[in-house]
Structure 1
Amino acid sequence: MQPSRAAPSSSSTVAASDREPSPERPTQDGSKQASRRHDEADEEAADEEGGGKPVDDEEAKRDKDGVRMEDGVPMVGLTGLDDPFSPLRMSNARKWVILLVVSSAAFCVTCCSSMVSLTYDGTAREFGETSLIVMTLGISLFVLGLGIIPQALRTRSPIIAVLLGPLSEHIGRRPIYLVSYGVFIAFNFQVAFAHNLATWLIGRFFCGMFASPFLSVAGGSVTDLWAPDQVASPMAFYTASPFLGPVIGPIISGVINQHLDWRWTWYILIMWSAVEFAALFLLVPETYLPALLKKKAKHLRQQGRSDVRAPIELDERTPLQVVATSCLRPLQILIYEPMALALCTWTALLLGILYMAFSAWPIVYRDHHGFSTQETGFSFTGIGVGIVIGTLMQPVWAIYYGRITKETGERPPPEEHLRKGCWGAVLVPVSLFWFAFTSYASVHWAVSQVSTIFFGIGIILSYQAVFVYLVDAFRPVAASAMAANSAMRSSFACVFPLFTQAMFKKLGTAGALALIAGLTCCILPFPFLFFKYGHKYRKSSRFANKER
């Protein structure tokens, strides 16, 4: 019996709002579901489980406790959707409470990534630092930390395979939530009370690193709680929070730093995080079915059925074995799959530009238009509005994909999901050129602000398209494809803010923005080419799904 899968990563769940029902969703066949939800990076094991022989009717029968024989082992599963251990059994009201808590906690973490952008002046004065590049490390190190552990969780790197991997697989999501968020709060204390720049920067890195496990498993709670035909709206709601957080962070920070000392940014964040931690502790139960089945098996053994086992209890692989089979897979995908490399580069560039904005927007609005710190923070509102609008388009796309399914009798091919990416690929360069040539002090600030709305729409449409395409087109190695994507995105988001100031000083505001817009024009053809020819490429691909 193969082990059960770990929690889906946040980046992969972003795309789940417009995915069709997956065969790997929870079912009454608890052991089969559990085996398919184990570490998604171990695609070979997952392939064997997903493509095995159908279970005949006799074998599928379970007793009153949900136990059936599998390879001579009494394996526990669910008796049905009304099983006390099924997360789908919760009331709709309770599910939405859990969703609100998890989403707001994710929103808090991603706000933290960018709130630092408007604390630079106060922090630099206190620490005696004159280099803005050094101060920008406050963002870059947080994003670097945020990018390390998600890759480890997806690809089972040695560190996390030994530490967090077994923890998340055997005791579920809730302990990861509480431990990760608790340590995140602790390192925010270090940031708030730092007495020198080195302590401050180290604290920022570890804030990001220990917040990342929470983000890596949080989206999985959504797919735990809703059936495939009901998950679209909850998932669209959740996935807006990690995107909105970075653009709302400067707004909050701008208001605080306009009226209070820079340290109050972190005092307030600590209080906010503490409230989120309390809500997670009190209101969010365990929802990860493999962990719940392990709890059920233990309960049955206490009642005298000593031979009953849960699927994850039969995992005999060592971390080294898992690493040997899956650690290098994301790198292999980037090397052997030009289409995956192109799409990963596209989304990485977009995230790099978004984090570049945290240094560029103050130049445009504070230096050119004379905005105050508070007003500069509010200059990010347009991007946030665009992201919300793009998210609210989800029902339209769901209707479109549903119509294709109804007409053809099968799921749309992966390339259909790039249709929205075509819109996003056009909107991003158009909005950036618009912003570049209306950023002069002689042009009213509202003109450039309107362009940022379309930039936000373009970003969210592009991300949704790429995420769902990678999952669908590279389904046999979906987790590794998403890990490769996230690694590139984190790298770009870490590096781009570091050269923003120098580039704007050398090229001028309009020139620097036009250069960035030109770069997005270079990748504009990608979604159109793959939309038209992607199915042909997949037939000769090494890793891609060749069906449909």
Structure 2
Amino acid sequence: MPAVRKWVIVLVISSAALCATFASSAASFTEEGLAEDLHTVHEVTILSISLFVEGLGLGPLLVGPLSEVYGRNNIYRISYILFWVFTWPVAFPPDIATFLVFRFITGFCSSAFLSVAGGSVSDLFANEKVASPMAVYTMSPFLGPVIGPLVSGFICQHANWRWTYRVLLIWQFVTVVLLVVFVPETYEPVILKRKAARVRKEKGDNNYWAPLDRREGSLTQAILFSCYTPFKLLLFDRMALLLNTWNALLLGILYLAFQAFPIIFEDGHGFNTQDTGMSFLGIGVGMLAALATQPIWNRFNRRQMEKYNGKPPPETRLVMGQVGGILAPIGLFWLAFTTYPAVPWIVPIIASVPFGAGVYFIFTSTFTYLVIAYRPIAASAMASNSALRSTFAAAFPLFAKAMYDRLGTVGATALLAGLMTLMTPLPFIYYKMGARLRATSRFAVKT
């Protein structure tokens, strides 16, 4: 397949992932209109983010095993069509209960692009060329939450809140068309299974078969394995638990920002809805700046390959996490102590740039490490990370307002910075001790 076509597929998949997480945070500026039109209170409307994110976290437990039987492409198309169909009741809700139920369902349906899509990228590119396309894909789900409030803030400033979801419907429909037209099946076992079926039919000989035709165990067993293995990993592997907790805390803080930034910029600096949405640009700029450093990390990884004769230990991937572990709390502390109304508004926005860069470095580093270090159960390792991340991301916005009212913008943000600082030594410790910890793990590779 030509490289250009491979990149088109990566960009379509990345756009789909971006749209899914955009949908999670776009609700942040619709809460006021939602409360007024559907006769509810602000605390209930926050659930529109929390329930969607929880659906994103739980969905991979189901779609992961299904993709290994029916292929990635079928899962993409069916899940995205369902994502589009079930967004209609969200855009035109008769009551708040219907709205919230379908927010969870749409989050669940869109989760394939946070769990299965990474496999498509690795299917398309050889190991020595996969880093850059994987970086583009990895960035997409985390850029989505930043773009969401930016777009919804602009829409809600100039039109009815429902237009946020109508724009989402248009984007989803375009994505469905692109998936059908440009994205083929890339999962080799499923391709072989289809080829074997075609040969059997053409030759009339049932002796042709693919490994997937003689797969041991049922689909039900695979789904049950997918559901309980991630939680076994969290319970019995301290290394995975701490790394996942680090990621979960970071994503929780990112989603808490959707409640915190309006307090900082609307109450403190007199921003309107549109301007508050624009304040998230700092985080986005930080992420893109971090993505621009990917060629440097590619060279670093090549040197590690040469140094270790083609088999560097997984811990070399944590060097990027060390950089992110330092940048994220620096950005949060800088943000905390510049939230005073007397400080120019641009300063806290600039402060969010290193935080955004830290988000990219930490997630990219941890994802890569989990996949390599837990290769035999890589899907379960990522599912455990996704489930814990989404739980934190769902919970943090619920207590954000109470925390900021009680501690103030400086105290609340500094508390979050302190929590991130406590996690900073983690990649440094695992870089030194990772091999020993893996040797005693029930799940990790030993070499």
Q: TM-score range with shorter-chain normalisation?
A: over 0.9
Superposition TM-score, scaled by structure 1 size = 0.79
Asked if residue 120 in structure 1 is aligned to residue 31 in structure 2, the reply is yes
RMSD: 1.6
Q: Residues of 1 paired with 2:226 and 2:136: CA distance?
A: 32
Q: Who is 1:445 aligned against?
A: 345
Q: Who is 1:396 aligned against?
A: 296
- TM-superposed CA distance for 1:538, in Å, is 2.2
Q: Who is 1:54 aligned against?
A: none
Q: Who is 1:249 aligned against?
A: 148
Q: Which moved more, 1:429-438 or 1:405-414?
A: 405-414
Q: Residues of 2 paired with 1:545 and 1:288: CA distance?
A: 24
| Matched letter for residue 140 of structure 1 | S
Deviation sequence 1:43-70 (CA, Å, 0-9, x none): xxxxxxxxxxxxxxxxxxxxxxxxxxxx
- TM-superposed CA distance for 1:396, in Å, is 0.7
- TM-superposed CA distance for 1:244, in Å, is 0.5
Q: Is the 8 A contact 1:251 1:378 kept in 2?
A: yes
Larger-gyration structure (1/2): 1
| Matched letter for residue 126 of structure 1 | D
Deviation sequence 1:284-328 (CA, Å, 0-9, x none): 222222222122112212221512111111124124544565643
Deviation sequence 1:22-61 (CA, Å, 0-9, x none): xxxxxxxxxxxxxxxxxxxxxxxxxxxxxxxxxxxxxxxx
Q: Who is 2:54 aligned against?
A: 144
- TM-superposed CA distance for 1:197, in Å, is 1.1
Asked if residue 331 in structure 1 is aligned to residue 231 in structure 2, the reply is yes
Q: Who is 2:76 aligned against?
A: 177
Asked if residue 359 in structure 1 is aligned to residue 259 in structure 2, the reply is yes
Asked if residue 341 in structure 1 is aligned to residue 241 in structure 2, the reply is yes
Paired residues, number? 446
1:128-527 matches, cutoff 5 A = 128-130=39-41, 132-154=42-64, 165=66, 168-304=67-203, 306=205, 307-322=207-222, 327-527=227-427
Q: Residues of 1 paired with 2:323 and 2:76: CA distance?
A: 36
Q: Which moved more, 1:408-417 or 1:135-144?
A: 408-417
Q: Is the 8 A contact 1:133 1:501 kept in 2?
A: no
| Matched letter for residue 380 of structure 1 | F
| Matched letter for residue 113 of structure 1 | S
Q: Is the 8 A contact 2:53 2:390 kept in 1?
A: yes
Q: Who is 2:7 aligned against?
A: 96
Q: Residues of 2 paired with 1:305 and 1:395: CA distance?
A: 51
Q: Identity of counterpart residues, as a percentage? A: 49
- TM-superposed CA distance for 1:470, in Å, is 1.8
Q: Residues of 1 paired with 2:8 and 2:213: CA distance?
A: 31
Structure-2 change in CA distance of 1:243 and 1:396 (3 Å): same
Alignment gaps of 5+ in structure 2:
none
Q: Residues of 2 paired with 1:192 and 1:326: CA distance?
A: 33
Secondary structure of the structure 2 residue equivalent to 1:328: helix
- TM-superposed CA distance for 1:544, in Å, is 2.2
Q: Residues of 2 paired with 1:181 and 1:153: CA distance?
A: 12
Q: Is the 8 A contact 1:176 1:214 kept in 2?
A: no
Task: Kindly indicate which of the two structures has a greater share of residues assigned to helix.
Answer: 2
Structure-2 change in CA distance of 1:290 and 1:541 (3 Å): closer
Q: Would you identify which runs of 4 or more consecutive aligned residues in structure 1 move more than 3 Å?
A: 319-327
Secondary structure of the structure 1 residue equivalent to 2:276: helix
Q: Which moved more, 1:142-151 or 1:295-304?
A: 295-304
Q: Residues of 2 paired with 1:422 and 1:255: CA distance?
A: 36
Deviation sequence 1:149-179 (CA, Å, 0-9, x none): 113344x5xxxxxxxx2xx334322221111
Q: Residues of 1 paired with 2:369 and 2:154: CA distance?
A: 39
Q: Residues of 1 paired with 2:342 and 2:441: CA distance?
A: 52
Deviation sequence 1:88-146 (CA, Å, 0-9, x none): xx22222222222221122111111100001111111112223x221110000000111
Alignment gaps of 5+ in structure 1:
1-89, 157-164
| Matched letter for residue 285 of structure 2 | V
Q: Is the 8 A contact 1:181 1:214 kept in 2?
A: no
Deviation sequence 1:371-416 (CA, Å, 0-9, x none): 1111111111111111111122221111112112223323221222
| Matched letter for residue 12 of structure 2 | V
Q: Is the 8 A contact 2:255 2:393 kept in 1?
A: yes
Q: Residues of 2 paired with 1:273 and 1:328: CA distance?
A: 32
Structure-2 change in CA distance of 1:223 and 1:326 (3 Å): closer
Q: Is the 8 A contact 2:62 2:223 kept in 1?
A: no
Q: Residues of 1 paired with 2:337 and 2:226: CA distance?
A: 47
